[in-house]
Structure 1
Amino acid sequence: MLMAQIPTLLIWFIAALIFSSLVEYWIHRLMHASERIGARHRDHHRRNEGQGVLWEFWDYVRGSFIAMCLPFLVSIAAGMGWFLGALVYAAFSAYAHQLQHENPTKCFWMKMPVHYVHHKYGLWEHNFGLGVDWWDHIFGTYKPMPWPTAAETSQPDRGYLQLRWW
């Protein structure tokens, strides 16, 4: 019985990863378009730092918990797949966001760490991705910028886990 549910769980898991990245992109973009929604985000731009991986993760899960649970109305397998996919993406996104603020040269999965250059160059209308840059390419908001520059290559080499975690 459990083996029969694995394809359903995997499909919903992958769908949640993709959908979560899309929501992340649009929420970030909305924060730049709306005075009301973006007040806290403007402070983030002024400080130019992440909150720490665990606090970022908490914000992502807290803001999407109901949506993370809705597929349980479809089935247990769909609910588990979706919930786990969204949870994994929230953890990845929280890590990627903090990494781009503290150690952007370690973002090997992107040609250019879009969130880092979004901050570095004050790109209020470009490069909204935190964990991935797909949606910036798809929706035409990807803007290539000089990367890496001497400022990044002259930084001391640090490991992937040398970040602010809380």
Structure 2
Amino acid sequence: MAVEKISEFSAWFVLAFIVSSFTEYWLHRLLHVSPKHPVRRIFPKIGEVHRNHHVRNEAQGVLGEFIDYVKSAIPYLLLMFVVSKLAGIAWLLGAVFYAVFAAYSHQLQHENPKACFWMKMPVHYVHHKYNQWNHNFGLGVDWWDWVFRTYKPVEWIEEKELSQSGGFWEVKWR
């Protein structure tokens, strides 16, 4: 019985992580829709804060990013409690784990993109560096850019990146 519970918990946790990465990818894409897009006619302010983020080209710290991700996703975080308490807890933890990971990854790509060893190319960094409004939307992972053909590889390491220092954990946390 315990093994079944652990397996079920693990499955819900992993599913929440994957679905959260998928959601983050599509929400980021949504923030880049053109002013003529039907969504912008309905929600004219969508992406306004995000466009300012592109102008500033900086993140707000891991904690600030995490809070923004979580406060807009509370119903999503609680979704699987309708299935069971175990599913709800696992889903909540998996989604929150992804939110922490995405917030950290976002901050790291703004401060030290070379440290993003789990991606061949730090897609969010490249997204900003080359003003790629239609490519490289992932924050924590690049899977969905590959799946939906928005991955656009570029030679991104230049003098600026070579001169960057700092370790894996040396980011703005707050």
CA offsets, 1:96-125, max 9 Å, x none?
Answer: 000000010100000000000000000000
**Number of equivalenced pairs:** 165
Structure 1 position 114 matched with structure 2 position 123: yes
The Cα shift of 1:8 comes to: 1.1
Give matches, 1:47-58, under 5 Å.
47-58=56-67
RMSD: 1.1
2:88 is matched with 79
Residue 26 (1) aligns with residue 7 (2):
no
With structure 2 as the length reference, what TM-score do the two structures score? 0.91
Give me the whole-angstrom Cα distance separating, in 1, the residues matched to 2:85 and 2:74: 16
1:67 matched to 2:84? The reply is no
With structure 1 as the length reference, what TM-score do the two structures score? 0.96
2:37 alignment counterpart: none
**Cα distance between partner residues in 1 of 2:115 and 2:74:** 29
Q: Does 1:4 align with 2:13?
A: no
What is the DSSP-based 3-state SS (H/G/I as helix, E as strand, rest coil) of the residue aligned with 1:140? coil
* Partner secondary structure for residue 12 of structure 1: helix
- Residue 144 of structure 2 corresponds to which residue in structure 1? 135
Which residue does the alignment assign to 1:148? 157
Q: Among all aligned residue pairs of Structure 1 and Structure 2, give the percentage whose two residues are the same amino acid.
A: 57
Q: Secondary structure of the residue that 1:67 maps to in structure 2?
A: helix
Unpaired stretches in structure 2, ≥5 consecutive residues = 34-39
- What is the letter of the counterpart of residue 136 of structure 1? D
| Alignment-derived partner of residue 168 in structure 2 | 160
In 2, Cα distance between the equivalents of 1:4 and 1:143? Answer: 41
- Aligned-pair distance for 1:4? 3.5
The CA deviation string for residues 28-55 of structure 1, in whole angstroms up to 9 with x for no partner, is 0000004521000000000000010001
SS in 1 for 2:99: helix
Hey, what's the Cα distance between the residues in 2 that align with 1:29 and 1:105? Answer: 24
Task: Name the amino acid aligned to 1:135.
Answer: W
What corresponds to 1:100 in structure 2?
109
Question: By how many angstroms is 1:150 displaced?
Answer: 1.9
Distance, in Å, in 2 between the alignment partners of 1:158 and 1:11 is 35
Distance 2:129 2:68 in 1: 23
Distance (whole Å) between structure 2 residues aligned to residue 41 and residue 137 of structure 1: 23
